Structure formats: C-alpha cells, structure tokens
Amino acid sequence: MNSFHVVQWIDGHLRMLDQRVLPHEEVFIDYTSAEETARGIRDMVVRGAPAIGCAAAFGVVVEAFRIAASGIPSSWPQAMAPGLRALEESRPTAVNLRWSLERMRPLLVSTPPGDVPQRLLDEAQAILREDHAACLQMGRFGARVLPDTPGRPLTIMTHCNAGALATGGVYGTALGVIRGAVDAGRAVRVIACETRPFLQGARLTAWELLKDGIDTTLITDNMAAHLMSQGLIDVVVVGSDRVAANGDAANKIGTLGHAICASRYRIPFMVVAPLSTVDRNAPDGSHIPIEERPMTEVTHIGGVRTAAPGVKVRNPAFDVTPAELITWFVSERGAMEHPTREKMRLLFLG
Amino acid sequence: MNSFHVVQWIDGHLRMLDQRVLPHEEVFIDYTSAEETARGIRDMVVRGAPAIGCAAAFGVVVEAFRIAASGIPSSWPQAMAPGLRALEESRPTAVNLRWSLERMRPLLVSTPPGDVPQRLLDEAQAILREDHAACLQMGRFGARVLPDTPGRPLTIMTHCNAGALATGGVYGTALGVIRGAVDAGRAVRVIACETRPFLQGARLTAWELLKDGIDTTLITDNMAAHLMSQGLIDVVVVGSDRVAANGDAANKIGTLGHAICASRYRIPFMVVAPLSTVDRNAPDGSHIPIEERPMTEVTHIGGVRTAAPGVKVRNPAFDVTPAELITWFVSERGAMEHPTREKMRLLFLG
C-alpha cells in the first residue's frame, strides 16, 4: 500500500502535495497561515472532502502557531476569527471542512491559553488518524457487499478521485473499497472516469491505482452509459462531499448522471463517505450548496484554450444524487442498503 | 446564415476545412485521390455523418479524375476498386458514407467510359445540394414540434456537432432545428456539451452558433444531468450517425447517457438525421458497428498528455440510444413521434 503525503505536519508547518500538477510532477507546498491554507484549498492544491477537512484542521494549527510567535493573545477566539473565516469560506460544498473546524473551535476556549497551539496540533493529528481508521473500516464494510462475479474479475467503475489523495493520504473512501476488495483477495478491474473539467480521474485516480498495481482503464465521463449498456460494469463506487439527512449525496459533477444510468441497467451504486461527511442540518439534497467554479476550467485544458472564444460557461463542481438511486451507503459504521432518512438517523444513535 | 466550406469542389479537386484545428485556425486541405480523402475522413479533418457522405462522394470524383489523367481505364469498376475500398473503410459507424458510395458506384458502369469523371462530379454535387435541402426541411419540421415555453426562452441542449460543419456546410441537422426555431422567431438559448474526447461541442458547435449570434453556453458532458435535474433544459436535440430499422440511433459517445437522463426528467429527446442515415439492413442498434478510436484522444488534450502514464484506455466513438428513449425522430420527411419499426418502415414508403 502506498502512502501519499497529502497533508503532513513537518518542521512546525503544514505541507501539502500539490494535486494540480499530478501526475506529471510531485511538488510540495508549505503553509504557515490560515489565509494561505484557505487559498490552497480554494485553488485545489488539496481536494476531496476528507482531505479538505484534514487540511483545514492543520490550517487552524499553523494560524495558532503564527499568532503565538508574537505572544499569546488575550482572546484566542478573537485572534483566530479571520483565519477561521477564511478557511470556512474556502469551499462551500464539502461539509467535512466545517465539521473539522467545529472540532477545533471549542479548544480555543477550553484550553489554557499558553497550550492552545499544541492542543490544536494534537486534535488535527487525531483527525488525521481517525480519517485513516475510518477509511480502513469503510474499505472492509464496502468490499463485503460488492457483487459476486463468479469466474471473472469484478469490474468497478469510479468517478473523480475518492482515494488516498482525497483523504488523509493512505486508503481512500471509494478507492478504499476497491483496495478492500483487493486485500480480500478478489480479482478487480477498475474503470476510472476522467472527470472533467479538473481531470481528477485521469490524473489522480489512475495514478494512485497504478501505483498499487490495480488494473485500471480510463474513459471519458460520457462513455460510462455505453459501457453499462454493454454489461461491462458490475458496480459503481464513488465518494461524497456532503450527505444530507435523508441520504441524498452531493459528489463531483457527473455522479448524478452515472447513478441514473446505473439505475436503468440495474447496476449497484455505492456511495462511500465517513460520518463527518453527513450534514444532519441538511434535510435533503436541495439544501446542499453547489459551488460554481471559474469558467476557465471548462474553456481551457492544461492552460490551453480549447473552446470557441466568447462562449458562455456553466461550471457547477458538484451534483446531488437522490437517495433512491443509491444502493449502498458505506460509512465507518457499516454498509447501509438503500439509505433513508430513518436509517440515516439510526446511524448516529449506533 | 453563415456558410462553412466544409466540402467544396474547387479548381478540379476536393477542398475541405480542417475541423481538427477549429476554432483557433481556419485551414483548408486539398485532396486529389481517394486514398488521401479516406485518410482525411479517418483523421477527422471532416466529421459528422452527412459531411462524411459528401466528402466520400467527392473522394470518388477526385479518384476518377486522377485515373482519367493517365487515360480512360478499360474497366472503371476495377480501376476504382482500391479507392472505393479505402473510402468505405475509413470510418465504420456513419452509414451515410456507404450510402453515398452506393449512389456513385452504379455510375461507373452505366455511364459511357469517357464521361465517368464528369458524371460522378454531377452526382456528388447533387448529393451536396440534396443534403442542404434536407437540412432545411428537417430544421422546419423539427422546430414545429419543439416544446412551448410561454414567457421565457426555449433552452435546447445539444451534444457534439450536428451543425453546418457536420453536413454539407450550411444549416446542419440538430443545429438546423435550432436555426429553424430562430428563423421561426423563437427566443432560443443553447446548452452545448463540450463532447470529450474530441471536443466537437466546445470547438465546433459553440463556434458556429456564436457566428450566427445564437446565445450559447458551454458545459462539460457530465454537467447535463445536473442541469436537467434543476429544470434548466427544455429539450435535447442531437444528430445521428446511423439509425437502425427500429429507430435505435447511434450517435457520438455520450448521447445515450443524455437520453437516459432526459427520460428520467421527462425532457423531450429529439434525433435529427436525413434518410441517408437510416440503415434498413440493421434490424436494431446491436447491429451497428461502434468505432474504437486511438487512445491518445483520451490520454491527451490538445497534444498535451493529461492522463497518468501507463493507464489502459477505452475509446468508443459512438453509442446507441434505444428507440424507446427517443421522443422525436426528425428527417426530411417530417417529425415522427416515438419511432418504432413499423413507423420507420412506413417512412420509406412515403
């Protein structure tokens, strides 16, 4: 199993792998303030809901150390407010970001002022460890309910990157289930959708699965329905950036179309996400904010303009798959078949 | 209305607009043999089923003039056989190509040998004229059955390029319906899917619609389901490369996914294609050959590698939309609601 240094604490600052230039270059960027970290998140140096949650936690830590360097402030909450706001506003859809900040925030008042930076660091490290443990759990739970394909390999389609690169850096959510299947001894083939406009599938998923020696075939997003119609996909496994209280799941743009097509061809559709991704305050998917990103992501590819000049652009970064299209919702608590509001509620009592 | 010199006869040879470098450059390439023309078709200098049909017809003409330059052959069919074969094998899915060659072929024996080149030229010009007339007809028939949207503009989503650039060069099939609606005085907005991997939507559809002053918004293919789920698409209008005898329609990869999603959201789905696109020998879509194109179209964009090295690739260029998902099939004979085998049969008796 490879380990990717997505988010790491090193020499007193935050270091992140620049996912924008993968797989062509492996570049690391250091962050020493919340403002800089927020910019890194917004510009997608790091992406993927759980990874953003980890990055934001360490963004809080570097901000606290930065402030403490010129003396312990009279009010930590006041001193940290601008940095926390910058982090909170960096990206709107992934709820793990806010979940992570809500874990850090109380420590600003519950900790003796001189101990705050170290206490925040301990908490950020705990978030990273828990993320890793949750991924391993999800991988095991998800792998157990993958369809049987006697006498032939299991073909799993995935969209975007819900892998090690989208989490703390080791196992991943959707790709954790794929790794879980491989670890359980199953023969697995992966169909990776390239995931326009940012090409997380072509650049990141293909790269990290090939590093693990997993058989991976790249397609453009619009080939998925054709492959499904030909019986070439056994199951679709994706991550999520925010799951509503009724099980509706926001994920990278394109996921909804895959779910609708999978439903037509009776192909199981699995969403894999830790409980930190569930937003119990969002009654259903219509309450999940959908980020609209810059138009150049659509008109340009790799810095080169491809589209006809003057054309208007829409660039929603996520869509919402209704719970009724989700066959399995896998969290660190187990694999839930056909999520409903009631089942989701019980999940948090467990 | 703009006219694009997609396929033209000029100074005794075939000249085609190189659609691979649009919209950034307008380059023309001259062809003086069937072999060269076949290569141009295969490399997608020209693309779009009706345009390929026209190009192949002129490919036959240039071959005949090339042969005649060194004397009238003792057997035209024999002399032309290699060139005809190269053209026939240049691309497998668009049936207009073969339809066009089948129109030219009998002339090799029915015409006095000395008159063959000129007779072929007359026929190719007739094919081009008929293509234009058919597009105008389809545009009128299709526009009449577009949904009413009282008090607001009609939003039409299209995929790939079924425009002037995909036909003889003036009106188009799917875009002919859009132009038909504009000509009928309707306020129209177009959502153009970029159409990976070759980006015909971003490069060609956006370019030609903007030249006509039509409000056009570009999206990546995987955003279509999201926009449909938000009620932002009134109708989907696409072309076709081959329609089977039961109404199943092969079209650019991605069309099937759009049709499935449109069906879920009860959005009318319209296929626009001339009768030359109907393959009465294909009982249904499973008999339509699907071209698999080079993997670099998927791994590279604009000549730059984007995908992780070493990944496998699938690159089917077309998919088949089953007739049951097609609300309207529009040909130069009229608009047919919910195509069936029986209705398709009657079309050819009309």
Whole-complex ipTM? 0.96
pLDDT band at B4 (very low <50, low <70, confident <90, very high): confident
The dihedral built from the CA positions of residue A316, A320, A325 and A330, taken in this order, carries a sign that is positive
Q: Tokens 């989700």, residue?
A: A326
Residue B148, pLDDT > 70, answer: yes
CB nearest to B218's CB, from A219, A260, A311: A311
Rg (CA), chain A: 20
pLDDT band at A304 (very low <50, low <70, confident <90, very high): confident
pLDDT band at A168 (very low <50, low <70, confident <90, very high): confident
Separation of alpha carbons B246 and B248, rounded Å: 6
Using alpha carbons, select from A297, A300, A313, A293 the residue that is nearest to residue B190. Answer: A313
The C-alpha angle with vertex B253 and arms to B247 and B257, in degrees rounded to 5, equals 75
Out of A51-65, A290-304, B98-112, least confident range:
A290-304
pLDDT at A303: 78
CA distances to A57, A114, A178, A325 from A72, in Å: 20, 6, 47, 52
Put simply, the answer to whether B197 touches A210 (Cβ < 8 Å) is no
How many alpha carbons fall within 13 Å on the CB side of residue A150?
0
pLDDT band at A289 (very low <50, low <70, confident <90, very high): very high
Residue A232, token pair as written in the block: 């070439």
Query: Which chain A residues have a beta carbon less than 8 Å from that of B310?
Result: 210
Nearest CA in chain B to A225: B257
Q: What are phi and psi for residue A100, nearest 5 degrees?
A: -65, -45
Residue A1, pLDDT > 60, answer: no
Q: β-pairing, A188-193 with A242-244?
A: unpaired
Query: pLDDT by residue (tens digit) across B161-213?
Result: 999 999 988 899 999 999 999 999 999 999 999 999 999 999 999 999 999 99
pTM, entire model: 0.96
3-state secondary structure of B91: coil
Q: Choose the mutation target among A194, A222, A293, A305 for the interface with B, i.e. most B CBs under 10 Å.
A: A222
CB A260 within 8 A of CB A325: yes
Query: Which chain B residues have a beta carbon less than 8 Å from that of A198?
Result: none
Residue B303, pLDDT > 90, answer: no
Segment holding A305, helix H or strand E: strand A304-305
CB atoms within 10 A of CB B268: 18
Mean pLDDT of B332-345: 98
Mean pLDDT of A165-169: 91
Is B2 in the A-facing interface, judged by CB distances under 8 Å? no
Put simply, the answer to whether B220 touches A320 (Cβ < 8 Å) is no
Active site residues of A: 241
Residue B295, token pair as written in the block: 């993997």
Using alpha carbons, select from A237, A194, A197 the residue that is nearest to residue A219. Answer: A194
pLDDT at B223: 98
Separation of alpha carbons B135 and B126, rounded Å: 14
Residue A350, pLDDT > 70, answer: no
3-state secondary structure of A329: strand
pLDDT at A274: 97
Query: Which chain A residues have a beta carbon less than 8 Å from that of B224?
Result: 257
Separation of alpha carbons B100 and B50, rounded Å: 9
Residue spans in chain B of domains classed CATH 1.20.120.420 = 7-133
CA distances to A35, A286, B210 from A89, in Å: 11, 20, 36
Query: pLDDT by residue (tens digit) across A126-142?
Result: 999 999 999 999 999 99
Domain covering B139-349, topology: Rossmann fold (3.40.50)
Q: What would be the CATH architecture of the domain defined by B7-133?
A: Up-down Bundle (1.20)
Q: Which of B131, B234, B241, B248 is catalytic?
A: B241
Mean pLDDT of B50-54: 97
Put simply, the answer to whether B210 touches A310 (Cβ < 8 Å) is yes
> What percent of chain B stands above pLDDT 70?
99
Using alpha carbons, select from A38, A31, A115 the residue that is nearest to residue A66. Answer: A31
Separation of alpha carbons A180 and B139, rounded Å: 54
The C-alpha angle with vertex B172 and arms to B170 and B233, in degrees rounded to 5, equals 135
Mean pLDDT of A226-236: 98
As a whole number, the mean pLDDT across chain A is: 96
Mean pLDDT of A49-59: 97
Query: pLDDT by residue (tens digit) across B72-108?
Result: 999 999 999 999 999 999 999 989 999 999 999 999 9
Under 8 Å CB pairs connecting chains A and B tally to 197
pLDDT at B350: 63
Segment holding B17, helix H or strand E: strand B13-17
Query: pLDDT by residue (tens digit) across B216-237?
Result: 999 999 999 999 999 999 999 9
Separation of alpha carbons A251 and A162, rounded Å: 10
> What percent of chain A stands above pLDDT 90?
95
How many alpha carbons fall within 13 Å on the CB side of residue A170?
15
CB A18 within 8 A of CB A71: no
E-state strands within B159-306: 188-193, 215-219, 235-238, 242-244, 249-252, 269-272, 278-279, 300-301, 304-305
Residue B279 catalytic? no
pLDDT band at A341 (very low <50, low <70, confident <90, very high): very high
CA distances to B230, B240, B245, B273, B332 from B322, in Å: 25, 12, 11, 15, 21
CA distances to A198, A253, B70 from A295, in Å: 12, 15, 56
Query: pLDDT by residue (tens digit) across A187-208?
Result: 999 999 999 999 999 999 999 9
pLDDT at B274: 97
CB atoms within 10 A of CB B129: 11
Residue A250, pLDDT > 90, answer: yes
Is B19 in the A-facing interface, judged by CB distances under 8 Å? no
Residue A82, pLDDT > 90, answer: yes
Q: Tokens 């053209």, residue?
A: B87
Q: What are phi and psi for residue B64, nearest 5 degrees?
A: -65, -45
Is B260 in the A-facing interface, judged by CB distances under 8 Å? yes
Query: Which chain A residues have a beta carbon less than 8 Å from that of B226?
Result: 253, 256-257, 290, 316, 319-320
As a whole number, the mean pLDDT across chain B is: 96
Residue spans in chain A of domains classed CATH 3.40.50.10470 = 139-349
Query: Which chain A residues have a beta carbon less than 8 Å from that of B305?
Result: 24
Segment holding B272, helix H or strand E: strand B269-272
Residue B65, pLDDT > 80, answer: yes
